[in-house]
Structure formats: C-alpha cells, structure tokens
C-alpha cells in the first residue's frame, strides 16, 4: 500500500451526472475515511463516468454500465484496504 490512496470519479457534465458522482464519492469517503487520502470529482464530457484508484481505471460506464456502490466499494477496497470488511455490503 502506498502512502497516497487517491480516488477520482470523472463524470459527464453534458449528461448532468454530478449528483450521481457526488453521491458515489460520499459513499466511498464514508466507507474509506481512514484509508483514502484524496477523492476528486473530475468534470468530463461525452458520456464519461469512470472511477479510478491511483490512476487505475476500476469502473468505466461505457463497458460496465452505471455502478452499484457496493461493486465500486469492493474494487476500491481491494486496492486500498485488502481484507477490510465491508459489513452488510458484502452479502
């Protein structure tokens, strides 16, 4: 694990997906408040909705559709806090 654990959510401003991105950001910050050092929202265009952890794409709407928070939490957890229990979200 590196000292910096950064998540970036890039969302389409044309599609008005800011609220969706902000809600997902809140879910991740609440779950990983001790593990993440930064979470950013990056305005984009052209239907983009991509989640990156330390510059690695872990979710791309174009390939996987819109993510459920639980799915993204698992992907983030696997990269920033392996072994951390997600409680009821894992069931």
Predicted structure pTM score: 0.92
| Residue 90 pLDDT | 61
What is the 3-state secondary structure of 27-87?
Answer: HHHHHCCCCCCEEEEEEECCCCEEEEECCEEEEEHHHHCCCCHHHHHHHHHHHHCCCCCCH
Local structure of 90: helix, strand or coil: helix
Q: pLDDT digit string (tens) for 10-47?
A: 999 999 999 999 999 999 999 999 999 999 999 999 99
Q: Residue 21 belongs to what H/E stretch?
A: helix 18-31
Q: How confident is the model at residue 91 (pLDDT cuts 50, 70, 90)?
A: low
For residue 69, what pLDDT band results from cuts at 50, 70 and 90? very high
How much is the pLDDT for 87? 82
């Amino acid at each position: 694990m590196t000292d910096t654990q950064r998540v970036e959510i890039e969302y389409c401003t044309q599609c008005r997906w800011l609220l969706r991105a902000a809600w997902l950001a809140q879910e991740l910050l609440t779950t990983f408040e001790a593990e993440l050092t930064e979470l950013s929202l990056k305005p984009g265009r052209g239907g983009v909705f991509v989640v990156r952890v330390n510059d690695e794409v872990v979710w791309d709407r174009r390939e996987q559709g819109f993510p459920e928070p639980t799915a993204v939490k698992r992907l983030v957890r696997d990269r920033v806090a392996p072994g951390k229990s997600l409680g009821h979200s894992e069931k």
